Amino acid sequence: MLYDNLAVNEKGHLAIGGVSTVALAEQYGTALYVLDEDKIRANCRLYTKSMQEWFGEGSMPLFAGKALCFKGMYRILQEEAMGADVVSPGELYTALAAGFPPERLFFHGNNKTDEDIRYGVDSRIGFFIVDNEHELEVLSAYAGEQGVCQKVLLRVTPGIDPHTLEAINTGRIDCQFGRPIETGQAARFVEKALSLPNLSVCGFHSHIGSQIFEAQPFCDAVDILLQFAKDMRESHGFVAKIFNLGGGFGVRYVESDPVVDIPANIRALSEHLTRGCAELGYPIPHIYMEPGRSIVANAGLTLYTAGGVKEIEGYRSYVTVDGGMTDNPRYALYQANYTVLPANRMNEVADGTYTVAGRCCESGDLIQEDVRLPEPKRGDLIAVLTTGAYNFAMSSNYNRICRPAVVMVRGGEHFLAVRRQTFEDLVACDL
Ligand SMILES: Cc1ncc(COP(=O)(O)O)c(C=O)c1O
């Protein structure tokens, strides 16, 4: 099994967190997102404990809400004493609606509108992660009007290519986020931030990409950030107290993906940082990270009911499911890998090869190609693993398909966390 929260029960059914997926499908229907709350909490604790141990008090993980955003998630994060980053006013609203403490929120975004900026300041969020000079000016002015000194981190791009998928690779110079160090724009960005009133510049943010399986790319980013921070100290007397290193480590979608030892990698990164600071004579900053995927991906799976098989002789066989790119657009977007299992027939021999197709009116609506399964029959339960991140969060109502429910599994029990959309929900905004 890809993860230790998955098992096959005595009936040959796939179970997650000790709960049968067949029982969940019967009770809640399909398509269905299932999340293992115990796994989410364990992942939160792994980051919190390792970061405190190796980076010291004052360093912490901030959950990247873009990976999975609904009220129940923020309640878990609050109980686990995590911070959280939000990338839109909608995510900010969700966090606040769940009662998440605003001072532990970090507001991202490369084009925050004036309204977004006012909403963040009025909500008294902890930090703005400022992307550009326009945002600095509006933020400084509005913070002044409100009599607030707003804490900010400045997003810079270190120019690192961590060799992940193009679409989730953001630390390179040529991207729309932050200001590049190499071209001198980041230095001018710092100068501008320091010149404006009502802002407390606390440090830097960089996100180099996602699905990173080792400490080395983060170490490379730290080297560049440290040299930049030293230059800023020399030129402006500014000392960065926080480095936010962006998204977390990679997860296993398929057996061939490596297992990441998160504590060991955090330790290696911390040792690298300590050495780097000593060499440059720079005070060790607090480290924040923004893991999304590695907190929730392996806590989730999606259940579908098979519709039927279409065999095209000499070509291939498709199995259709009652969901698709509306609940998981990642294969359609960038051919993301997934493990697909016959959830109600786990002990049978997987002797056929099938392409799993969704129900949308779109030929690109595939969940995965060339999957090994026992020949699916109409009504079979198909499970797609590792869907806790960037599935519910990326879901849509294309073709006016209702979004699936989200069910949580905790201590062998289960409960609804997000109800299934209804047809009424689909027309709720139509005038
Ligand atoms: C700025 C930022 N922070 C955090 C993340 C989360 O990354 P991951 O889910 O891979 O941990 C992302 C993802 O793209 C991001 O863009």
- pLDDT bin (cut points 50, 70, 90) of residue 163 is low
Q: Where are the domains of the chain?
A: 6-36+298-426, 108-291
Ligand 1 centroid – CA 385 distance (Å)? 20
The pLDDT assigned to 169 comes to 56
Q: Residue 5 and residue 11: Cα distance in Å, rounded?
A: 17
The structural architecture, per CATH, of the domain 108-291 is Alpha-Beta Barrel (3.20)
Q: In the predicted model, what is the mean pLDDT of residues 148-163? A: 91
Q: In the predicted model, what is the mean pLDDT of residues 300-319? A: 97
The pLDDT assigned to 171 comes to 60
64 lines ligand 1 (CB under 6 A): yes
pLDDT in tens, 326-376: 999 999 999 999 999 999 999 999 999 999 999 999 999 999 999 999 999
Q: Which of 207, 243, 251 to mutate to test the pocket of ligand 1 (most atoms within 8 A of CB)?
A: 207
Residue 170 reports pLDDT greater than 80: no
Q: Which atom of ligand 1 is nearest to the CA of 67?
A: 9
Q: By percentage, how much of the chain surpasses pLDDT 70?
A: 98
The pLDDT assigned to 168 comes to 55
pLDDT in tens, 362-377: 999 999 999 999 999 9
pLDDT in tens, 57-114: 999 999 999 999 999 999 999 999 999 999 999 999 999 999 999 999 999 999 999 9
Contact (CB, 8 A) for 11 and 23: no
429 noted as active-site residue = no
67 lines ligand 1 (CB under 6 A): yes
- pLDDT bin (cut points 50, 70, 90) of residue 167 is low
248 lines ligand 1 (CB under 6 A): yes
For the entire predicted model, the pTM comes to: 0.96
The pLDDT assigned to 128 comes to 98
Between 108 and 160, where is the model more confident? 108
HEC profile of the chain: CCCCCEEECCCCCEEECCEEHHHHHHHHCCCEEEEEHHHHHHHHHHHHHHHHHHHCCCCEEEEEHHHCCCHHHHHHHHHCCCEEEECCHHHHHHHHHCCCCHHHEEECCCCCCHHHHHHHHHCCCCEEEECCHHHHHHHHHHHHHCCCCEEEEEEEECCCCCCCCHHHCCCCCCCCCCEECCCCHHHHHHHHHHHCCCEEEEEEECCCCCCECCCHHHHHHHHHHHHHHHHHHHHHCCCCCEEEEEECECCCCCCCCCCCCHHHHHHHHHHHHHHHHHHHCCCCCEEEEECCHHHHHHHEEEEEEEEEEEECCCCCEEEEECCCCCCCCHHHHHCCCCCEEECCCCCCCCCEEEEEECCCCCCCCEEEEEEEECCCCCCCEEEEECCCCCCHHHCCCHHHCCCCEEEEEECCEEEEEECCCCHHHHHCCCC
Residue 299 reports pLDDT greater than 70: yes
Q: In the predicted model, what is the mean pLDDT of residues 18-46? A: 98
CATH of range 6-36+298-426; options 3.40.50.300, 3.30.1230.10, 3.40.1410.10, 2.40.37.10? 2.40.37.10
Beta bridge partners of 381: 305
Residue with the smallest CA separation from ligand 1 atom 13 is 247
pLDDT in tens, 173-208: 888 899 999 999 999 999 999 999 999 999 999 999
The pLDDT assigned to 164 comes to 53
Q: In the predicted model, what is the mean pLDDT of residues 110-139? A: 97
Q: Which of 175, 202, 361, 429 is catalytic?
A: 361
Question: Are both 6-36+298-426 and 108-291 of the same fold?
Answer: no
The pLDDT assigned to 175 comes to 85
Ligand 1 centroid – CA 196 distance (Å)? 29
CA terminus-to-terminus distance, the chain: 49
Structure tokens given for 414: 């289960």
Residue 161 reports pLDDT greater than 80: no
- pLDDT bin (cut points 50, 70, 90) of residue 162 is confident
Structure tokens given for 410: 């905790």
Residue 165 reports pLDDT greater than 60: no
Q: In the predicted model, what is the mean pLDDT of residues 205-218? A: 94
Q: In the predicted model, what is the mean pLDDT of residues 389-413? A: 98
Q: Which atom of ligand 1 is nearest to the CA of 290?
A: 4
- Mean pLDDT for all residues in the chain: 96
293 lines ligand 1 (CB under 6 A): yes
